[in-house]
């Protein structure tokens, strides 16, 4: 993969956001979403600032980009993030249909400063009954109603 000077500039902005976040009391992570050679949105980690465990830099940047572009589909966009995405962020990136991810720090680098996501990757590979947090199925027959309604809805917006 050929990395351009423009790619480096976008990554440097993600890194700048990460460093600025630390100075403001947030986590050391930053991300920008780019489309057509321009930054659409950027954000940092705000978990502790917002008391929101989902407020990772990548998720925040995706949310902002979706608002700016008026869509939930970020096809044609690239994400530059100061660290390899955690499982939650990776899921959000895939759901947003982002085309490409560039990252700075690795999962190991994050683990070395006590941001360890490996346990989540490990948990996902275990059968439900063996996971740390109990995952208990119930009322499936009743829950199927919303799926039936979705299946029958002629004017739904697929995503």
pLDDT surpasses 90 at 51: yes
Tell me the whole-structure pTM to 2 decimals. 0.93
* CA 48 centroid distance within chain: 17
Following DSSP, what letter does each residue of 43-96 receive, concatenated? Answer: EE--HHHHT-TT--HHHHHHHHHHHHHT-S--TTEEEEEEEPPPHHHHHHHHHH
pLDDT tens across 67-107, in order? 999 999 999 999 999 999 999 999 999 999 999 999 999 99
DSSP character at residue 126: S
What was the pLDDT predicted at 106?
A: 96
Distances (CA, A) of 81 to 86, 142, 157: 11, 41, 29
Which residues, in sequence order, are bridge partners of residue 31? 43, 81
N-to-C CA span, the chain? 29
Structure tokens at 20: 């600025």
pLDDT surpasses 90 at 18: yes
pLDDT surpasses 90 at 1: no
Q: Across all residues in the chain, what is the average pLDDT?
A: 96
Distance CA 7, CA 14 (A): 11
What was the pLDDT predicted at 147?
A: 96
Active site residues: 58
- 2-25 mean pLDDT: 97
What was the pLDDT predicted at 159?
A: 87
pLDDT tens across 111-148, in order? 999 998 888 989 999 999 999 999 999 999 999 999 99
What was the pLDDT predicted at 118?
A: 85
17 closest CA partner among 37, 33, 31, 35: 31
- 20-32 mean pLDDT: 97
């Amino acid at each position: 993969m050929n990395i351009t000077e423009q790619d480096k500039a976008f990554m440097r902005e993600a890194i700048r956001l990460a460093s600025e976040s630390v100075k403001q009391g947030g986590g050391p992570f930053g991300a920008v979403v780019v489309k057509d050679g321009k930054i659409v949105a950027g954000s940092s980690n705000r978990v502790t600032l917002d008391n929101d465990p989902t407020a990772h830099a990548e998720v925040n940047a995706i949310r902002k980009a979706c608002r700016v572009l008026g869509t939930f589909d970020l096809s044609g966009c690239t994400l530059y993030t100061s660290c390899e995405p955690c499982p939650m962020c990776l899921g959000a990136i895939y759901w947003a249909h982002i085309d490409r991810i560039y990252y700075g720090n690795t999962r190991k680098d994050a683990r070395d400063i006590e941001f360890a996501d490996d346990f989540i990757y490990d948990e996902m590979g275990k059968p439900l009954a063996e996971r740390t947090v109990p995952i208990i199925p119930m009322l499936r027959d009743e829950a199927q109603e919303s799926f039936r309604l979705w299946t029958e809805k002629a004017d739904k917006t697929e995503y």
